[in-house]
Amino acid sequence: MDAYGGPEAFLTRQALREVKVSTYRGAEALALEMSVDEQAELRELERQWRDAEEIADIADNLLVDPTIEDELRHLKEGNQPDG
């Protein structure tokens, strides 16, 4: 895989060959399997990361009282809080 520039480049090159998967043997078959597995794992990790960010955003919004948000906004703008 390294000779091709990594798993994604390897898969791209193999797809351009338009060869049946059943024709792969030995190291080439192993490289194909490893590349596909790595790409699937990467997609799953990216999905989990997006889910975690979404949950963190929801949690952040649940923890902060809206009046505090208003006061923080006023302070950032250089104004005194309303309360």
Candidate ranges 22-31, 44-53, 57-66, 70-79; pick with highest mean pLDDT: 44-53
pLDDT of 81 above 60: no
Domains of the chain by residue range: 2-76
Give the pTM. Answer: 0.59
Q: Give residue-wise pLDDT tens across range 6-47.
A: 888 888 888 888 888 889 899 989 999 999 999 999 999 999
Q: What is residue 65's three-state secondary structure?
A: coil
For the chain, count helices (H), then strands (E).
Answer: 3, 0
Taking the CA atoms of 61, 64, 65 and 69 in sequence, report the sign of the dihedral they define: negative
